[in-house]
Amino acid sequence: MKPRTILLAALAAMVLAGCAAGANPGVGLADSGGETAGFLLGLWQGFIAPITFFISLFTNDVSVYEVHNSGNWYDFGFVVGAGIIFQGSRFRPRRRK
């Protein structure tokens, strides 16, 4: 292999490794109100993800993802909610010509 190809492959591997998700130390821990986010809150936050993302660009008080969550069920609800919002236009009826 050429040295340039090896260098590009190593750089791509480092970039992809930098995108890997890390452990969330807040999973299962209650927030200041004593609550953890579950499936239904994850579903709701998935629905409003585009709006909260836009707001989070201008303020530090709003975040897209709830850190104090119940784990896999919150994640599942968030993905389902975001999937419904981002894939909603695929299910509209097609116009006939």
Query: Tens digits of per-residue pLDDT, 37-76?
Result: 788 888 888 888 888 888 888 888 878 887 778 778 888 9
Specify the pLDDT at position 52: 87
Write the DSSP string, 27-70. TT---TTS--B-HHHHHHHHHTHHHHHHHHTT-SS--SS-SSB-
Instruction: Output 4 or 21, whichever has higher pLDDT.
Output: 4
Q: Is the pLDDT of residue 80 over 80?
A: yes
d(CA 77, CA 97): 38
Residue 81: left (phi > 0), alpha (psi -120 to 50), or beta?
alpha
Q: Is the pLDDT of residue 88 over 80?
A: no
Task: Read off the pLDDT of each residue in 16-27 and give the average, rounded to a whole number.
Answer: 67
Question: Where exactly are the structural domains of the chain?
Answer: 35-97
Specify the pLDDT at position 25: 62
